[in-house]
Each structure stands twice: as C-alpha cells, then as structure tokens.
Amino acid sequence: MNLRKRRRAGAEMHTSAMNDIMFFLLLFFLIASTVTNPNVIKLMLPKSSTGQSVSKKTITVSVTKDLQYFVDKKPIQIADLSSTLEAYKKLATELTIVLYVDRTVAIQDVVEIMDVAQKLNIKLVLATEPKG
C-alpha cells in the first residue's frame, strides 16, 4: 500500500509579460490620440447641406466664441490680421482662407474678416459642419 501523498504540481501564471503588453498598448493609444486630432481649437461650426473641400494653399483663420482670433493656430489680435494675411499672401500666389467661426459669434465680426480678405484679394471659404 502506498501511504505517501501524491503531490500535485501547482498551476502558476506569470503576469509580468502581460503588464508590459498593457503598458505598450496604453502608450500607443495615448500617442495615437494626440496625433489624430489636429484641430486644437474647439468650435461649434454652423451646419450646411452643401459642402466641398478646398485643395490649394490654404490657411485657417479661427474665431472663438469669446472673440479670440487665430491664424494657423497662432493667436493674433484683430488689428494685426491684415498684416499677417499679407505676409501669407506673399508666400503663395493662390491663397485661400478657411474661416472657422463659432456659430455664436456676431456676423459683424465675420464681415470684418471678409473685408480684410477682400482688400487683399484673397479667396475666403466659410467652414461648416455637415447637416444630419
């Protein structure tokens, strides 16, 4: 008769490799999420049923709801807008301004930017969100 107890091998799971994998996945998604959102300035754009994309040399002019002005994500004063756009005009022959304006901004502030673009003979396109 065998009086000795059988000893079973214990099941072990090493999780150190799993921790490394989770760390790398977290790092990847953090880096990917910062790259995928190029529009840093959050605006609520008006909606439009007809829209088209602009493909030539474009610069963005953004106006937030508290009337902060940005040209290519760089803050500027409204008084400096004409000189800034004129410097961009010298760099490119066919220049188009894509105007991002929060829907709560008064139309008079939008018209001021349109007047500056008209004086400099620069095309201007108002950015909208698709309806639906």
pLDDT digits (tens, 9 = 90+) for 15-65: 778 888 899 999 988 887 766 655 556 667 677 766 655 446 888 999 999
Taking residue 43's Cβ as centre, other Cβ atoms within 10 Å add up to: 18
**Better pLDDT: 108 or 13:** 108
pLDDT tens digits for range 121-131:
988 988 888 77
The pLDDT, as a whole number, for residue 40 is 56
- 13-19: long-range pairs with CB below 8 Å, 24+: none
Would the CA dihedral through 74, 117, 94, 102 be positive or negative? positive
Span 52-93, pLDDT tens digits: 554 468 889 999 999 999 998 899 998 999 999 988 888 877
Q: How far is CA 67 from CA 4, 100, 102, 108, in A?
A: 85, 12, 9, 12
Q: What is the pLDDT of residue 20?
A: 86
Report the CATH fold assignment for 47-130.
Nucleotidyltransferase; domain 5 (3.30.420)
Question: Shortest CA distance to 104 belongs to which of 60, 67, 71, 76?
Answer: 67
Residue 7 to residue 9: CA distance in whole angstroms? 7
Sequence spans of domains, the chain: 47-130
CB atoms under 10 Å from CB of 102, counted, come to 19
Q: Distance between CA 80 and CA 65 in Å, rounded? A: 19
Q: What is the predicted pLDDT for the residue at 127?
A: 86
Q: pTM above the 0.85 mark?
A: no
What is the token pair recorded at 86?
Answer: 């004129």
Q: What is the pLDDT of residue 17?
A: 81
C-alpha to C-alpha distances, 1 to 6, 7, 67, 124, nearest whole angstrom: 13, 17, 93, 97
